[in-house]
Amino acid sequence: MKELPPQYLPQDVEKRIYEQWMTAKIFEASETHKKSYTILMPPPNVTGVLHIGHALTCTLEDVLTRWKRMLGFNALWLPGTDHAGIATQMVVERKLFSEEKKSRHDLGREEFLKRVWQWKEESQTTIHSQIKMLGSSVDWTRLRFTLDDQASRAVRECFVRLFHENLIYRDEAMISWCPRCRTALSDLEVKFGERKGKLWHIRYALKGDAKKFLVVATTRPETLLGDTAVAVHPDDKRYKEFHGKTVVLPLMGREIPVICDEYVDKEFGTGALKITPGHDPNDYAIGKKHKLPILTLFDDGARINEVGGIYKGLSREKGRDTIVEDLKKAGLFEKEQDHSSNVGACDRCQTVVEPRVSRQWFVKAEVLAAPAIKAVEDKRIRIVPEEWEKTYFNWMRNIRPWCISRQLWWGHRIPVWYCGSCSHVMSATETPKACDKCRGTALTQDEDVLDTWFSSGLWPLSTLGWPDETEDLKRFYPSDVMETGFDILFFWVARMVMLGMHFKKEIPFHTVYLHPMVRDEFGQKMSKTKGNVKDPLEIIHTKGADALRFTLCAMAVHGRDVLLSDARIEGYRNFVNKLWNATRFVIMHFGDVTRSNVRLTDPVNGWILTRLNETKREMNAQLEQFRFDEAATTLYHFVWNDYCDYFIEFIKRKGEIDSRKGLKDSTALEVLEEILRLAHPIIPFVTEELWSHLPLKSDAKCVAVAQYPVKPLIGDFPEAQAQVGKMIEVMNAVRRVRGENNVANNQTVEVRVFAEEKVKAVFRPLMDCLADVTGASRLTLLDPSEELAFANEKLAVVGSMNIRVALPQGVGGDAAGDALRELQEARAALKKVTELLGRAGFADKAPAAVVLKEREKEQMLRVRIEQLEKTTGK
RNA sequence: GGGUCCAUAGCUCAGUUGGUUAGAGCGCUACCUUGACAUGGUAGAGGUCACAGGUUCGAGCCCUGUUGGACCCACCA
């Protein structure tokens, strides 16, 4: 047997172990005779490296996968990456600019895309190695990418079908435009935030009477260049005389009508609203209603175009300043007020978005939403934690058209062609040779690409081979659990449900488990600018992947953020080390035990086996409910408190260890083996390494494919459990007395246990052990009637028995005083219980068990008080 | 404006359907180089469960309100 070092050194172990698993091909979901269990990894973006949130996802999904694999499922955890349209294009553009001072247009579409593919390869390699470092048991043979051939085929198929079902359409509409990314965005990609600004009051003179004007209040004076009306509330008395009149647009001289619309809030600003249908969603609606002209004032980069006359070429910001100045000069400026309002910004680059009318492709999401809502209502899809269902419904029921076209280069090209001769629009999975209508061959493909979430939304289908009816699709669709963060519930989960329901007529997964966000120890969101990011790799390097994984599990509480602190990780690193050393100890003494030999005559054995069974039951139930935190805690307590602190300490006593070794008692070993199995899904590396040193290993070479403990090893032994439970209580009581009186460990005491015969019988088989663990030179079992003679010794009360401890000469204090104090306390407690029991209705309304307990308590207190009165004489 | 969630020990958090003395980790104090482990052991201190009412024999848990926080959704100039 190889000697284990006294400390677990993860660096020496992890890489080797992962390679072992790969060589043994245990991650491949190839055991098709078994029932399958499927998790599709939410594909990380190929924008760079993984962060701690990915580590959480990987850990939780790996725990589930490993657990189910050990339970005998054909477990598939399918890995992949996401091309992440805007995000990746942005990263590469930025890199290109900083390194070569070039824009993507300098390179051209083809060359630029080549660079992005290069970046993707590098980034993907990094990501894969990080996934491995975490110990993820993914099936690498099924690796996928949202822009690979299979995914592209699925995307085109999906688009074409929706197009022909009229669920995808092209329309001119008001959309959010990012002037930096120069693309349209969906509603979800715009994040609103309070921004400080001003409310400018501007005079719009009445046509024909320059002395009369309407004062308009606006937060965006620069858009006045595109105004096509001014609106007032029809009931607003102040503006009655303007109804039906025309005003002159300041600086431009254009004449625009004053219209009445109830949308206008009389209380806000001046009650007069300038209407810019081209650059404000509300104004657009009013403009449509009143059939106003729609002027587009800004170009793709949000610079003022020819509509703005002399202001052409100015940016939005510069335009605003210039226009305010000019208004002041022209005497058309009334005043300005501080005012903050909600402004939308690009989710990716934080640039303020420009609402803009443009021609884009949309999905009729409200049609797709209906079956997706129903699936969750019917609980065919279960969302965990359940609270998120409300959020899901709320969004789904108010869903709006989904803008899917992006004016980018990196992504799935929209499979739509326009005929140069007859303007026919057609959509097809393969590039058409000629126009369906006029047979003309001058076809041009749509320049735009699809929203990255369009392909992600197909992930459950495309990864398994759809649109082909592949074996994998039959076998693994729907998947079991979709494990991801709640921040992409709408972006991703909702879309997968919609598309899955539409194309497969079946749910894409049975359960959605939404994990919490990872924050720093103060609850702050991690961000590079704040400098509080925790790099998972650094943690793995310094403390080991298992410590990180255990921490993430232990903190994955439902409905709260994960607050990650170094102290916590260190604590769990210590736990891993504890397990390591417990194994060392067991191997050191029982390493040559090769046959199962559990002596059930020893209550300590029965006790630990019973506790083990409880632990198994709890952990399986907790994992079933995605309570990773509870499963981790259950394991932690069993290993540290029960197995190490008590079991090993009990058998470590002089004599006992030799006797066990002599008898080749296998209990310690067998319980340890079960511990390694139980722990493996959470801390795979250390358990696999330790497993290889065990002499027994009944059923598998790798713990990764050993059976997960479900059934009792031998059985439950309630009697032994009760015996040892009592012994632990006595032990703790004596230790407390020793501790409180500062009795050194090497000093012995005398312990007397006063109890009824029934209780005494419980202790007889444990006398030696109890004497040892309490540090007693003499341990005696006595009748309660004999206690009076020892009234001057220290007392501890445990359940229905009293324990007296005779301290060594020269230590300890005033036993009589203690007794008096206890008497007073007992009297007070008795009063309370009697009161409770006396209260009318208590016995009728309270459960019988509670009443019984209270009665018992009362009785015990009475007896105790009587004893104390005797000993103290009061 | 609508919605969701949270407030428990110095810190970060558990506490399942109301039921003995409200728990854990870290931190803190004292003692222990005990032959698996000082990344260890033993003991200890520390809580008006945010506040105010209510329901109940009984409330950290249920109800109402207040205060303080977090987040999501929403086009109010």
For residue A213, is pLDDT > 90? Answer: no
Helix %, strand %, coil % of chain A (to 5): 50, 20, 35
- Strands of A183-185's sheet in order across: A183-185, A168-178, A354-363, A402-403
Rounded CA separation A320/A304 (Å): 10
Residue with tokens 């198994």: A616
What percent of chain A is modeled with pLDDT above 70? 95
For residue A98, is pLDDT > 60? Answer: yes
Q: Residue A1 has what pLDDT?
A: 45
Q: How many Å from the CA of A219 to C1' of B65? A: 39
Say yes or no: Cβ of A761 under 7 A from any atom of strand B. Answer: no
Say yes or no: Cβ of A282 under 7 A from any atom of strand B. Answer: yes
Say yes or no: Cβ of A585 under 7 A from any atom of strand B. Answer: yes
Average pLDDT of the residues in A818-841: 72
Q: Which nucleotide is nearest to A853 (CA to C1')?
A: B20
Say yes or no: Cβ of A341 under 7 A from any atom of strand B. Answer: yes
Parallel/antiparallel/unpaired status of strands A209-218 and A479-485: unpaired
Q: Which nucleotide is nearest to A584 (CA to C1')?
A: B36
Q: How many Å from the CA of A561 to C1' of B47? A: 24
- Of A166-180, A767-781, A793-807, the range with the lowest mean pLDDT is A793-807
Whether the bond between A5 and the residue before it is cis, its omega within 30 degrees of 0, is no
Bridge-partner residues for A246, per DSSP? Answer: A257
Residue A270 Cα distances to A60, A189, A201, A264, A383, angstroms: 56, 33, 8, 10, 48
DSSP, residue by residue, A742-771: T--TTS-EEEEEE--HHHHHHHGGGHHHHH
Q: Which nucleotide is nearest to A192 (CA to C1')?
A: B74
**Protein chain A, residues 636-675, with a C-beta closer than 7 Å to any atom of nucleic acid strand B:** 640, 644-645, 648-649, 652, 654, 657
Position with higher pLDDT, A815 vs A659: A659
Say yes or no: Cβ of A508 under 7 A from any atom of strand B. Answer: no
Rounded CA separation A770/A752 (Å): 11
Rounded CA separation A154/A467 (Å): 6
**Protein chain A, residues 204-243, with a C-beta closer than 7 Å to any atom of nucleic acid strand B:** 217-220
A523 confidence band (pLDDT: 50, 70, 90)? low
Q: Residue A545 has what pLDDT?
A: 94
Q: How many Å from the CA of A629 to C1' of B15? A: 13
Residue nearest to nucleotide B35 (CA to C1'): A652
Q: How many Å from the CA of A18 to C1' of B31? A: 44
Mean pLDDT of chain A: 88
Residue nearest to nucleotide B24 (CA to C1'): A633
Q: How many Å from the CA of A562 to C1' of B46? A: 25
Q: How many Å from the CA of A613 to C1' of B39? A: 28
A388 confidence band (pLDDT: 50, 70, 90)? confident
Position with higher pLDDT, A97 vs A826: A97
Rounded CA separation A606/A610 (Å): 6
Backbone angles phi, psi at A335, to 5 degrees: -170, 175
Q: How many Å from the CA of A172 to C1' of B53? A: 57
Bridge-partner residues for A275, per DSSP? Answer: A229
Rounded CA separation A598/A665 (Å): 6
Contact partners, residue A313, CB within 8 Å, separation at least 6: A303, A304
For residue A824, is pLDDT > 80? Answer: no
Nucleotides of B under 7 A from a protein CB: 3-6, 11-15, 19-20, 24-27, 30-32, 34-44, 56-58, 71-77
Q: How many Å from the CA of A645 to C1' of B31? A: 19
Residue nearest to nucleotide B56 (CA to C1'): A845
- Of A324-333, A454-463, A467-476, A605-614, the range with the lowest mean pLDDT is A324-333
Spatial contact of A189 and A348, defined as CB atoms under 8 Å apart: yes
Beta strands (DSSP E) in A72-167 are 74-78, 80-81, 144-145
Bridge-partner residues for A752, per DSSP? Answer: A780, A804
Average pLDDT of the residues in A99-107: 91
The secondary element (H helix, E strand) that includes residue A212 is strand A209-218
Torsion of CA A103, A106, A108, A114, to 10 degrees: -60
**Protein chain A, residues 827-846, with a C-beta closer than 7 Å to any atom of nucleic acid strand B:** 836, 839, 841-842, 845-846
Rounded CA separation A780/A753 (Å): 6
A418 confidence band (pLDDT: 50, 70, 90)? very high
Rounded CA separation A439/A791 (Å): 111
Say yes or no: Cβ of A195 under 7 A from any atom of strand B. Answer: no
Average pLDDT of the residues in A607-620: 92
With CA atoms as reference, report the closest residue to A704 among A682, A673, A680: A680
Q: What is the DSSP letter of A645?
A: I
For residue A196, is pLDDT > 60? Answer: yes
pLDDT (tens digit per residue) in A648-693: 988 888 788 888 888 889 999 999 999 999 999 999 999 999 999 9
Q: How many Å from the CA of A526 to C1' of B69? A: 19
With CA atoms as reference, report the closest residue to A523 among A560, A568, A548: A560
- Of A99-108, A381-390, A608-617, the range with the lowest mean pLDDT is A381-390
Say yes or no: Cβ of A22 under 7 A from any atom of strand B. Answer: no
Q: How many Å from the CA of A517 to C1' of B5? A: 14
Read off the tokens for A552.
């993430």
- Of A112-121, A185-194, A258-267, A523-532, the range with the lowest mean pLDDT is A523-532
What percent of chain A is modeled with pLDDT above 90? 43
A532-540: long-range pairs with CB below 8 Å, 24+ = A533/A51, A533/A52, A534/A52, A534/A564, A535/A51, A535/A52, A536/A50, A536/A51, A536/A52, A536/A54, A536/A55, A536/A130, A536/A134, A537/A49, A537/A130, A537/A133, A539/A569, A540/A10, A540/A14, A540/A133, A540/A134
End-to-end Cα spacing for chain A: 66
Q: What b/e readout covers A114-146, taking b as 16+ CB neighbours within 10 angstroms?
A: ebbeebbeebbeebbebbbbbbbbbbbebbbbb
Beta strands (DSSP E) in A295-352 are 333-346
Rounded CA separation A462/A154 (Å): 6
- Strands of A776-782's sheet in order across: A776-782, A749-754, A801-806, A794-798
Rounded CA separation A240/A318 (Å): 36
Say yes or no: Cβ of A390 under 7 A from any atom of strand B. Answer: yes
Rounded CA separation A174/A277 (Å): 9
Q: What is the DSSP letter of A6?
A: S
Bridge-partner residues for A376, per DSSP? Answer: none
Residue nearest to nucleotide B58 (CA to C1'): A846
Count Cα neighbours of A64 within 13 Å in the Cβ-side half-sphere: 26
Average pLDDT of the residues in A496-524: 86
Spatial contact of A238 and A296, defined as CB atoms under 8 Å apart: no
Position with higher pLDDT, A613 vs A867: A613
